[in-house]
Amino acid sequence: MTKATGSRIVADTREQKPYQFTNSTRTALTSGDYSLLNLEDQISIERKELSDFYNCVGSDRDRFTRELERLSEFDLPIVVIEADLAEILKPNKHGSQLHPNSILGSIGSWIAKYGIIFIFAGGRELAKRMTEKILNKYMKYQQDD
């Protein structure tokens, strides 16, 4: 295991609306949208806007499943969704035809099958803050080992 020594947050170059962090850089990641420099093989955080998440449950499910399979290989795989669970379960309000049971079933299956942590952050700003906190805490615990 590689130790973090003052690692910087890494945002994937393909990330369309990257979070802005003071200690960050951009590079191509093999999976996910955020990681830590020199720890890219250990931690991966995938960011999803609400509309993108609905696509992942529906029409883009096969692509997202392959993404989850790749994420599951990390020590700490996380999907951060820029909405809270109650909001996600109101798909008709957002123009989606998905059924709430289908959404919950998909999330439950993905957690059980792939061991991925799903965080429902309530919005973009909280999702950014949570992403930064997780990455900084992971870096801290790697340095303490």
Residue 43 lies in a domain: yes
CA separation, residue 104 to residues 4, 97, 122 (Å): 36, 14, 17
What CATH number does the domain containing 129 carry?
Answer: 3.40.50.10130
Looking at residue 21, what is its pLDDT?
93
Reduced 3-state DSSP string for 101-132: HHHHHHHHHHHHHHCCEEEECCCHHHHHHHHH
Residue 100 lies in a domain: yes
Residue 66 lies in a domain: yes
Residue 51 lies in a domain: yes
Q: Which of 43, 34, 45, 41 has its CA nearest to residue 12?
A: 34
- The tens digit of pLDDT for each residue in 108-123 reads 999 999 999 999 999 9
Residue 11 lies in a domain: no
- Is pTM beyond 0.95? Reply is no
Q: What are phi and psi of 71, to 5 degrees?
A: -60, -35
Residue 1 lies in a domain: no
How many C-beta neighbours within 10 Å does residue 83 have?
A: 23
Q: Which of 116, 97, 98, 94 has its CA nearest to residue 107?
A: 116
Residue 112 lies in a domain: yes
Print the domain residue range for 125.
30-144
Domain total in the chain: 1
Strand partners, 43: 76
- The tens digit of pLDDT for each residue in 60-94 reads 999 999 999 999 999 999 999 999 999 999 978 87
Residue 20 lies in a domain: no
